[in-house]
Structures are given as structure tokens and as C-alpha cells.
Structure 1
Amino acid sequence: MHQAKRYAPIFLTFIIGVALSITLYKATNNWELQNQQVRFSNHATLYSNTIKSVIHDHIGTINLISDCVRSNPGLSRSRFSTLVRNTLERYPGIQGFSWNPVIDHSERDYYEMLASRELSRDFIFTERSSDGLIPASERDEYVIVYYIEPYQGNEAALGYDIASETIRKQSTKRAFLSGKLTATATIKLVQESEQQAGVLILLPIYHLDQPIETVEQRHAARRGVLVEVLRIGHIVDLALAPLTAIDGQLYLYDITNGDEHNLLHFIPATSAANSQPRDYQTLTQNFRGVAIFAEACFGHPSPSKRQILNATVYAYGAPTVLRSLRNHLFAALHSSSLTLRRHKPLPSSPSFAHALNYE
């Protein structure tokens, strides 16, 4: 009985110390996780706002070019090239611009001959098949990529009938009928060799001397569409280059087709620990048919050095109160081990002495 009372303060101190250590460790761990989540949310918001701003700036450039195209019905190929080249130098995320006039079938031969003479090479209207680009089938009208800049790297797109493919045709029709800027869903660019999503921004151009108040009038006044070619991955990389890497992974989805979400671009996690996350936090923002979806990874299987340090420190009672309790506990254990040694012989097993921190 006397012996039990003697050791009671020791074990009580031990239990209190362990309980407080565990409580503070869990509280600090939760605080650390909340801090990570706040940092991620701030980073993700900055990322999405930056991406939206850069996309907005890139899309806005088409309006600058459209003013010149709209007011110059006889715009030449060289004038278009000069006009567009200045814009491309300022916005490297743009793949190119093209002028796509609406051409009746009766004018096909004339336009093919005229372009062949201007380009000093064969020029024909084309469409895509399973075997690649082929001469376009006969139809009432075509919407042809007639001017394109830069020419180098985009040669394959020149002469392509954008009305020959479903997504482009629907977007072109929607642009003409609405009279507004329109974006296609994700497409594979005719001139694209990389496996990267492309998006076309279409701006309808009408004949100046015709009314366009109604849908019927706009259809009758169609002159062509000015097209801006964007590769979303390039724009995102340009937008995020100056920013600090996010502790998570970033997805951009095309949501123009309702429930069908097509991946536009993906930025992987910055560390190997993020490859097997335990907890997630997400942030989604929609902008012009593009969903910016950021996914953060927390609760890493391999804790960071800071997390390991926290676990180690709090297991030993870093706060002043726990440090004092720990010191008293070690002193009490040391005293009791000496007492045990005086009154009783130590067992032969070395683990017993190790367990009491005696050795």
C-alpha cells in the first residue's frame, strides 16, 4: 500500500503528460492541416484568377483584328499577315489567326486558282477523312481557311473547310446566327502534331451594306468568320510560369458539352508525396466554357520534415508545462530505478534496465 502511494504521483504525472502531449499533438496536426488547406485555397484562387485573366486577354485580341477585317472587304493576304503578326508577337499563347470566307460552290475554282497564284503552290479546298486530309466534297457552300498567320507550321490548315466537321460547323452556325463571339468545344487541330487540346474562337463578319437585326438577315449577310486558334495548355503554362508551384494538382476541363467534361490540360502534383493523397480539397471555377478544377492533396503518406518535427517535439512535450512534467517524470523514474537497485537485484534481462532508461 505504502509502495503504491509512493509511485502514484509518478504515474499520475506520466498519464497527464502523455494525455496532454497527445491532445496538443492532435490539435497542432489539425492546425497544420487547416493551414495547408487555407494556403491551397489561396493558391488555387490565385491560379484560377490568373488563368481566367490571361485567357480573357488572349480572346480579346480577336476584336482588335476584326475591326480591320470588317472595314476592309478587299483585305489582302499580305495586309492580313502584317496585321496579325503584330498581335502574335505580344500573345505567344495564340497558335494563329485565320480568315475563313463563306464561298459558294460556283466560286470554288476561282478561289482555288487565286490562292494558288498568291502562294505559288497548289491550293485546294480540303476536308478530313480517316486517311487524313482529302479534297473537299462538293456542297453548296464552304467556309474555307483562306488566310492564316503564321503561315509556317499551319500550312496543313490552309484550304480546310471548317464546315465539313461537326463541331466546327455547329460553332460556325451558332456564331453567324447569334452575331456573337463563339468558342468551339475541344478539338484536334488540323495543323496540330502534339497531343494537345485546341479551341477555336470564332467571330462572325457580315457584309457592311446589309442589315443584321434578325436571324434571317444575319444568315443572308454572312461574309465569313475570323478565327483565333488557341492551345489551352500553352496559355495555362504561360499564365502560371511566374507563380509559385501549387501543392496539389490542377485540372482544366472543357464543359461546353454539358455533362461531358473533356480534359484540356493537367498540371501534376509538385512532389512525390502528393501522388498518393489521403485527403482532398477542391476548387472549381467556370469561365467561358472552361472549368478550372484544382485538387489539393493533404495527409501525405510521407510526412514533411515539419510534420515529423512536430510529431517528435510534441511526443516529448515541447510546451513549458509538458517539458516540466517530462523532467519530473524522468527524475522520478531515475530515482525509482535507483531505489529498485538498492532494495532488489535487477533481473538478468537487459530489456528491463533499457525500459527504465537506466542503461
Structure 2
Amino acid sequence: MSRYFPLLVFLLVGSIGLATTIVVYRAEEAAEQARFEALADDTVDRIGERLRRSLALLRATNAYFSTSRGTVSRQDFISYVDGLEIEQRFDGLQGLGFARFLPAGRERDVEAELERNYDWAIKAWPETDQDRRAVIVLLEPHNFRNEAALGYDMFSEPLRRRAMQTAIESGQDTASAPVSLVQEVTSVKQAGFLVYTPLYRSGTGVAYRAEPIGFVYAAFRAGDFHRAALERSDRLPLVVETRDTTDGQSELLFHSDGYDEISASSRFTVERKLPIAGRSWTITAHETKAFFDASRYWRTTVLGAIFLLLSGALAMVARLQVRAMEAAREIQALTEKAVEEKDLLLHETKHRIKNSITRILAMARQTALNSETLEDFSRSFEARMQAMANAQDLLTSSGRLNADLETLLRGELQQVFGDAISEGAVDGPSVKLGETATQALGLTFHELATNALKYGGVSDGDGRLKVSWELVKDEDHLQLEWIEERPGAAPDDGPADLSGNGGRKGFGTRLIDASIKLELGGRIEREFSASRSRIFISFPLAEPAGEDD
């Protein structure tokens, strides 16, 4: 569990930091949303304010016409409109005009009025199936667009007619649904709308309002009107779309350049309703890239970075603490292991010293019993002790308490025969011997070599020695063959006694049997003749379980 503790610390602190950062981020998002809503409200207010100013201008114009009972001359109207500075102060307002309202069939009256106003013959148009006409007889300021609308019967078109009928019924300013103005005579066209206010004869009373003498109206190009409101002094970092949504309908009036692309990826959306002279507009706003200020999110960035660094630092501290605890445990374990190994080493040393002393004492007794003089005893005992020492040297030099069989054998042969043994006399695979096998075979090789030196004729060149071995039984057993040949001896006529003891087993033979059979749990076979001696040894390589002596 401790190995995962730093990760848990990192995840816990990181989760707290993430949650806190998210809360701060959402608060900043809410602040940005509120800022954008305020900006959108300001935009809607700009549009609404511009419309209110235009409607106030329309009412003032209606009052101006009322003073003359609808008989305003064109020159007077030009002077009036010039004073308003429409083209400079009211962008999007295409013009102010007056449409004479009269029964169908009296077109000659309005055509005569048009000719008086503009000094050329202008026909009322288009043909209509309505019983009333509302023909434009005055429209200023004069330009090529407004000139194209002169004589147009607005009552002949359904959307305009509906707005005028509503104005008659309510007696109030009434806007039309989005229409295409007859002033749109170029290839670049915009949606437009008109606002009508009925003009009545002075003093006629409410009962006569069903029959106004005409309509004072204002024509607007929606695109120019919106752009003037949005780009009044400082360009707003948003795009808008305005739709006429009266009576459940949705007709486009205006949308900013690039609105579709920006709205598809925007984060904030604000929708507002704007009442316009009896109609309802829905204005939808989305932010542009200019709205965002990356510096506004510095709190989120700094807070997230602080918690990330804190999580990493605490995780690192926890990791160091875990490593310190692990190191302490490892040191404790190593200390306990060292104590155990020391006790084991002391016990093993005690056991081996006891075994070695026992073996040395036994060899000393037996050597003494088989030695005729002190000199014989000293020589034999010293040689056997040297064999034990050689075996021990091999064990300790390896550092692993094992010895190489060939090295052990050559060492004993070298000690007994010197350089009399050829390289080919020893043959076999590499075999590693345990401690018990090394000690046992060291003494065995010493006894066999000493016997071969005395009785086999190997040292004077008449005899030949051949030692070979192999691994059998899945390489768990070692089989070793020791052969001494005496080519110059008499022909074989049966087993020969080469022990020098009249057929009685000497100490060396008993020592070999004890080493192979008792210590190694193996077996040994001997074959002797006048010309040849063969010793066969087989034992398992696994160390037999010993007992404390």
C-alpha cells in the first residue's frame, strides 16, 4: 500500500485543486456571461434608442403635415427634411414621405399632385384589385433610390397594406413586416421595413378616423440601420441577428457579417425581445474573438498551476518519506539477516571444526596404527592433511563453497606425481563439487594417487594412469573411472594383490570406502590384475543431509 501512497496524495490534492479551479473558472465564466449579457443589452438598447428617435421624428413629421391638413408643398417639405439632416444623423432611414390615401379610380388626382411636386408626369403604379390606394406623393431626401418609389401604391402590396390597416384601426404608429423596398434598385439589396402613422383631417373627430387622408411614413433599410447602431462610436465585440417574430412568424431582417460561422462556435448567446411599433423583434447576440481577454482568466491559470505544483511537491515529499521508511525497513531486515547469518556461520564453523577435528583425529589414529615408525606416520599424516588443505583451499577460493572436479584431481596428481602425468590422463566434463564431495574426493584422490605411486609403476614410466568421468541420470550422478595399466607386467592369471598388505584392507582403502559410501552415499567397485587396476566410483552430486556431531 505504501508504494501507492504518493500517487494517492497527488490524486487527492490534485482533485481538490481541480475542483477549486473549476469553481473559480465557472465563477469567471459567469462573470464573463454577465459582462456579455450587459454588452448585448447595451446593443439592444442602441437599436431601440435609434428606433425611438426615428419614431419621434416620424411623429414630428405627422404633426408638421397636420398643421397644413396634408397639403404640404414639396419645397416646404424639402426645407423641413434638410433641417433634420437625415442623411447625416439618421443612417438607415431611407426617407420620410407622405402617401395619399384615396379610393381607387381617382388616380388622376394623385398623378396631378405628383406633377405639381416634381415637375414631370409620374403615374400611379402598379395596377391593383383593391378599392383603396395609398400612393406616394412626397418622399425626401431626394435621391435616385427615393425617386424610384414615387407614385408607388403601397396599399397594393399585402404586407404594407396590413400595416396601414392596423394603423387605421389603432390610430398608432405601426411597423410593417420585413419587405423589399421599392428603393432597392441596385444589385446589393437589403431587407427593409416601414412605419406608418395615419394623417387625419383636423377636427373631423374619432368617428372619421376610418378614412385618413393619407399616411406619413418612414422607410428603413434594415442593414444600414443596424450597422449604424452597432458601429456608432466603438465597434462592439459581438455579432447580432434580428428577426421579426410577430404572430409566431420568424422573418430575417438583419444579421452581422460572418454571423453563421461565429454563432456555430460561440460560447455565449443572448436573446432579447424588442417591441417595434406594434411588432416584435427578436435580437440574438453572440460574442466574437475580440470579446475575450485571456488576462481575465489569470486567477484560474495561477490557481491551477499552484495546485499542480503543490500536488507534485506533496507527492514528492510522500515518496521520499515512503523511501525513507522502506530504507529503514531494509536496514532492519539486513541487520536481522546479518545476525542470522552470523549465528548460522558460527554454528556452521563450529560444526565443521568438530567434523574436521574428528576426521583429523581418526586419520591420526589410523595412520599411527598403520605406520611402523614415527617418520612413516609423519610423512603419511602430513600428506593426508595436505590433501584436506588443498580441498579446503579450492572451496574457499571460489567464494561459493564449491570446487571444480578437474582442478581438484589435477592438484592431487600434481602433488603426488609431479609432471609425470600427461595432459590426456584426465578427461571429463566440467563438474562443480559441493563441500562434502570436495573433501571426500580430495582424500580419495590422494589415497588412490599414493597407492598408484607405490604399486602401479606410474612414476617410473612403466605404468599409465587414466582418469575419466561423466554425468548420468539427468546429470544428477557422477561416475568416475580410475584405471592404472602396467604394460610390462606378466600376463593376467587372475586378480593380483597390489595393496601391499597381503590382501588385508589398509587404512587408505577403508578411508576411501568411508568417504565414498558413507559421506557421499555412493558406491565403489575395484578390479585388480597383474597388468591393470580399475576403480569405479559413482555417487549423487546432491549433498547428503548431514548431522551435527
TM bracket (short chain): 0.7 to 0.9
Report the Cα distance in structure 2 between the residues aligned to 1:124 and 1:67, rounded to whole angstroms.
Answer: 28
Kindly indicate whether structure 1 or structure 2 has the higher relative contact order, using CA contacts under 8 Å at least 6 residues apart: 1
Candidates 122, 136, 157, aligned match of 1:165: 157
| Cα gap change, 1:137 to 1:30, in 2 (>3 Å) | closer
Report the Cα distance in structure 2 between the residues aligned to 1:117 and 1:297, rounded to whole angstroms.
Answer: 52
The aligned runs of 1:219-258 (5 Å cut-off) are 219-220=210-211, 222-241=212-231, 242-243=233-234, 245-247=236-238, 249-256=239-246, 258=247
Candidates 43, 50, 63, aligned match of 1:47: 43
| Cα gap change, 1:270 to 1:335, in 2 (>3 Å) | farther
Conserved? CA contact 2:240–2:259, under 8 Å: no
Amino acid at match of 1:147: L
- Structure 1 match to 2:98: 99
Report the Cα distance in structure 1 between the residues aligned to 2:5 and 2:158, rounded to whole angstroms.
Answer: 82
- Structure 1 match to 2:137: 146
Which secondary structure state, in structure 2, belongs to the residue aligned with residue 126 of structure 1?
coil
Conserved? CA contact 2:154–2:160, under 8 Å: yes
Report the Cα distance in structure 1 between the residues aligned to 2:122 and 2:299, rounded to whole angstroms.
Answer: 69
Structure 1 moving runs of 4+ over 6 Å: 269-273, 307-312, 334-340
The answer on 1:78 being equivalent to 2:72 is: no
**How far 1:14 sits from its partner (Å)?**
1.9
Conserved? CA contact 2:44–2:274, under 8 Å: no
**1:304-340 deviation digits (Å, cap 9, x = unpaired):** 8559977765554x15xx6445334346668989999
Conserved? CA contact 1:250–1:268, under 8 Å: no
The aligned runs of 1:292-311 (5 Å cut-off) are 292-296=282-286, 305=294
Report the Cα distance in structure 1 between the residues aligned to 2:169 and 2:8, rounded to whole angstroms.
Answer: 82
Report the Cα distance in structure 2 between the residues aligned to 1:154 and 1:54, rounded to whole angstroms.
Answer: 21
| Cα gap change, 1:138 to 1:16, in 2 (>3 Å) | closer
**How far 1:82 sits from its partner (Å)?**
1.5
Amino acid at match of 1:261: S
Cα RMSD, aligned residues only: 3.5
Report the Cα distance in structure 2 between the residues aligned to 1:270 and 1:126, rounded to whole angstroms.
Answer: 38
**How far 1:44 sits from its partner (Å)?**
1.6
Report the Cα distance in structure 2 between the residues aligned to 1:75 and 1:85, rounded to whole angstroms.
Answer: 15
| Cα gap change, 1:271 to 1:161, in 2 (>3 Å) | closer
The answer on 1:183 being equivalent to 2:175 is: yes
- Structure 1 match to 2:107: 108
Moved more, 24-33 or 166-175: 24-33
- Structure 2 match to 1:155: 147
Conserved? CA contact 2:241–2:259, under 8 Å: no
Conserved? CA contact 1:65–1:84, under 8 Å: no
Conserved? CA contact 1:245–1:270, under 8 Å: no
| Cα gap change, 1:60 to 1:283, in 2 (>3 Å) | same
**How far 1:218 sits from its partner (Å)?**
1.6
Conserved? CA contact 2:175–2:194, under 8 Å: yes
Report the Cα distance in structure 1 between the residues aligned to 2:147 and 2:114, rounded to whole angstroms.
Answer: 13
**How far 1:229 sits from its partner (Å)?**
0.8
Conserved? CA contact 1:25–1:315, under 8 Å: yes
| Cα gap change, 1:290 to 1:177, in 2 (>3 Å) | closer
| Cα gap change, 1:325 to 1:108, in 2 (>3 Å) | closer
The answer on 1:261 being equivalent to 2:250 is: yes
Report the Cα distance in structure 2 between the residues aligned to 1:67 and 1:315, rounded to whole angstroms.
Answer: 65
| Cα gap change, 1:117 to 1:212, in 2 (>3 Å) | closer
| Cα gap change, 1:8 to 1:86, in 2 (>3 Å) | same
The answer on 1:123 being equivalent to 2:122 is: yes
The answer on 1:286 being equivalent to 2:274 is: yes
Q: How many residues align?
A: 316
Candidates 312, 315, 335, aligned match of 1:326: 312
**How far 1:166 sits from its partner (Å)?**
0.9
- Tell me the TM-score normalized by structure 1: 0.75
- Tell me the TM-score normalized by structure 2: 0.51
Structure 2 stretches of 5 or more lacking a match?
331-549
Structure index of larger Rg: 2
- Structure 2 match to 1:24: 20
Conserved? CA contact 2:48–2:274, under 8 Å: no
**How far 1:86 sits from its partner (Å)?**
2.1
Structure 1 stretches of 5 or more lacking a match?
128-135, 344-359
